[in-house]
Amino acid sequence: MATLTTTERGRGTWLGRSLELPGGWAGDLAWDEGKLWLAWATCIDEELGLLAVQDRTWTLRPGVTLEDWRDRSAQSQFTISLARLGEDGPLDVRELGRSLHAGDGPSLIALPGQAGPAVVWTDRRGSGSALLASVGGGAEETVAEGLGAILG
């Protein structure tokens, strides 16, 4: 879970109430054309139902095997989203991409004249990585690919 509170930067102040992002993994804020935007990654953990208790020991419930845990873990997905922030939280949430792997980002870049900021993030692809982007909440585009890690 990620939590966001009041932020102030450059051209404005967002005074909305605190915001909780269930499954929040990472995020970024940016002012663009006088509006505050939020990009974030979430992961809904598919493993929790397999645990006897939710603590740091990761003890599996009776009858649950390590193979069950591996199968369920492989189904977890990370989602990259973008929204403009209003007084009560995110407005017009747009899902930009999904991945089975946690990467770097997302990061926001203000682009004057566009429908919203650009969002960039990395993803693992086979034995390499890809740098992905969405401009103004548009379709996901691959900017670069390479062997090994692409670090942000």
pLDDT digits (tens, 9 = 90+) for 82-120: 999 888 888 999 999 988 777 788 999 988 888 889 999
Instruction: State the burial class of residue 64 (Cβ atoms within 10 Å of its Cβ: 0-12, 13-18, 19+).
Output: middle
Indicate the helix (H) or strand (E) that contains 64. Answer: none
The per-residue pLDDT for range 46-59, each reduced to its tens digit, is 777 888 887 888 88
pLDDT at 39: 93
pLDDT at 81: 93
pTM, two decimal places: 0.75
Judged against a pLDDT cut of 70, whether residue 18 lies above it is answered with yes
Higher pLDDT, 121 or 102: 121
**β-strands 141-147, 89-99: how paired?**
unpaired
Q: What sign results for the dihedral spanned by CA atoms 9, 13, 14, 18?
A: positive
Omega of the bond leading into 22 within 30 degrees of 0 (cis): no
